[in-house]
Amino acid sequence: MGIFSRKAESTISEAAVLNELRKIQDPDLHKDIVSLNFIKNLEIKGSEVNFDFVLTTPACPARDVMRDDAIRLVGSIPGVSAVNINMQAEVKSQPALSKNSIAGVKNIIAICSGKGGVGKSTVSTNLAAAMARSGAQVGLLDADIYGPTIPIMMGKVGSNIEARGNLLLPIETHGLKFMSMGLMAPGDKPLIWRGPMAHKALQQMLLGVEWGDLDYLFVDLPPGTGDVHLTLVQSISVTGAVLVSTPQDVVLTISMKTYRMFVETKVPILGIVENMSYYICPHCGSKDEIFGHGIVKDAAEKLEIPFLGEIPLDKAIREMSDRGSPVVLAAPESASAKAFEKILGNLAAQISIANFSSQPLQIVEE
């Protein structure tokens, strides 16, 4: 022991630890993690430094990098023998505004597209499943009354909806809570609904379902624009919208009408996803950009909206969907699953940015 043990016991100050941690910037919020209040419960026990690192979302894409930087920086303080970090997430949202929100639901994310057939529902299902797997409380509402395919993708076709008092109970599956307008019509019966019925049905799905406490509620909208979209943006404050597009869809500017509708109704555009971006040959593995190169990314740059990522045209996605299991859960090592995970990270970051920079609207009475 002797001199060496005395050196190890020289007190490590909280200020020294925080000064090191201040060197780490959140790459999306552009502020240091100490000013952002990410560091909590800092404890210095002898030569060990322990603290909680609280992120704004469990799906934070910079999570590992920031954690490793924290370990390295704090570890470089003289006398520190161990750095123990408890990574946590606390999803932020705008404070609930009684009638303009769903009690307990922190973020409402609309998934939309210009036209049908671009894979919007596949994207909704996989993003929701991936977000749930990252540790968040997630709900998925299939509001696509014209083509409700999510029950198939979740393996829940023909499920009965139960109620508790006045509220419908969502179905719990694949780690999330799920409800579909498609479950309202049994079997092959088409849902032929005029405006007012679709309006009432969506309001029931939003406000008459026992969603409980959710960090994120993904709402899969019908393609294009219409009654369902109007009802959504008028009934509640939507946190943001994600556009799903194929390269062809953008070229034909069809997705622009949907984009403009959200701009008009002041719903933040969280970004655009390019689906069917390229085909991977199952035999030789080569990548073929059938519909063109970087088309949606270029459009995103022109519109100054975030480009969230690309998803390949992959038979595995369709096969898993047909079997009722999202590819991110059924084949997590596949290229497609990884593409979804990457997009999820970017989306989670955009949601955090939108919440960070927005001022909640409230009516004050004098």
Pick the closer one to other proteins by CB: 88 or 100. 100
95 binds other proteins (CB under 8 A): no
Please measure the distance between the N-terminal and C-terminal CA atoms of the chain and give it in whole angstroms: 70
Give CA–CA dist 52/193, Å, rounded: 51
Pick the closer one to other proteins by CB: 232 or 344. 232
Pick the closer one to other proteins by CB: 80 or 353. 353
Q: Given CA atoms 149, 151, 157, 163 in this order, what sign does their dihedral have?
A: negative
302 binds other proteins (CB under 8 A): no
Site for other proteins in 217-236 (CB under 8 A): 232-236
Q: What secondary structure letter does DSSP report for 362?
A: -
Pick the closer one to other proteins by CB: 46 or 360. 360
| Residue 334, both tokens | 């596949």
301 binds other proteins (CB under 8 A): no
Give CA–CA dist 288/290, Å, rounded: 6
Pick the closer one to other proteins by CB: 333 or 366. 366
Candidate residues 56, 121, 180, 237; the one interacting with other proteins per rule CB under 8 A:
237
Do the Cβ atoms of 123 and 223 come closer than 8 Å?
no
Do the Cβ atoms of 138 and 215 come closer than 8 Å?
yes
196 binds other proteins (CB under 8 A): no
Min CB(364)–other proteins separation in Å = 5
Do the Cβ atoms of 39 and 53 come closer than 8 Å?
yes
Site for other proteins in 238-257 (CB under 8 A): 238
| Residue 161, both tokens | 């909806």
Give CA–CA dist 132/342, Å, rounded: 15
Find, among 90, 78, 18, 28, the residue nearest to 51 by Cα: 18
| Residue 232, both tokens | 């959504």
Pick the closer one to other proteins by CB: 264 or 288. 264
204 binds other proteins (CB under 8 A): no
Min CB(221)–other proteins separation in Å = 14
264 binds other proteins (CB under 8 A): yes
Choices 73-81, 156-164, 242-250, 262-270 (CB under 8 A): range interacting with other proteins = 262-270
Do the Cβ atoms of 33 and 24 come closer than 8 Å?
yes
Find, among 310, 289, 290, 288, the residue nearest to 299 by Cα: 310
137 binds other proteins (CB under 8 A): no
Site for other proteins in 347-366 (CB under 8 A): 357, 359, 361-366
Choices 80-88, 180-188, 263-271, 277-285 (CB under 8 A): range interacting with other proteins = 263-271
304 binds other proteins (CB under 8 A): no
- Binding footprint of other proteins on the chain (CB under 8 A): 97, 99-100, 232-238, 264-267, 357, 359, 361-366
